[in-house]
Amino acid sequence: QAEFAHVPQYVSFFCLGIMAYHRKWFLTLSARVGYIWLIIGVLIVTILYFGGNTVDPFLLKGGQNFGSLTRSLIETLLCISLVIGLLILFREKINGTNRWSKMLSNNVFVVYFLHVPVVVFLQYTLNDLPISVWTKFLMTTFLGIILSFLLSHFVWRKIPYLKKMM
């Protein structure tokens, strides 16, 4: 389910995550620094995905060229900044548990693996509906989250061998 071009990035982030955990980077990083990273991430998202035609088409070309390298570096900076920023935001502002959040956190690992087929299924299902692209996007997002968690909680966890893997 991974795009081969992103595998080095996924492996790097996985290794960095292990290092960050062992060295307690996200426990010792100041809230101010985390919020700066979050602002950087939000700005990149705003420019890349809501900037319209302001993105230079040179950056969007594939292949081995300076534009592709630049785009890859920008996407990596986006990932790093949002990971750091959101982790700090949640550490500082949304740090607590209740029955509902405990249930969600118990299922999030399985949801990570289930969500791609669920989202693809929803995209194909909604594709021919005569509604706007934004409505399809919002429906896919909302239903994808709900269906992925429902499948994890009520199906995956009921399969004897699979529930032991959790």
Q: Which residues contact 126 (CB under 8 A, 6 or more apart)?
A: 136, 139, 140
Residue for token digits 């989250």? 145
CA–CA distance, 85 with 62 (Å, rounded to integer): 29
Residue-wise pLDDT tens digits, 65-100: 887 788 888 888 999 999 999 999 999 998 888 898
Amino acid symbol at 116: V
Among 76, 93, 110, give the residue marking a domain's end: 93
| pTM exceeds cut of 0.75 | no
Same domain, 11 and 85: yes
Q: Which domain holds residue 135?
A: 99-164
Same domain, 120 and 140: yes
Number of domains present in the structure of the chain: 2
Together in a domain, 73 and 136? no
What integer is the mean pLDDT of 36-59? 79
One domain, residues 56 and 113: no
- Contact call for residues 48 and 78 (beta carbons, < 8 A): yes
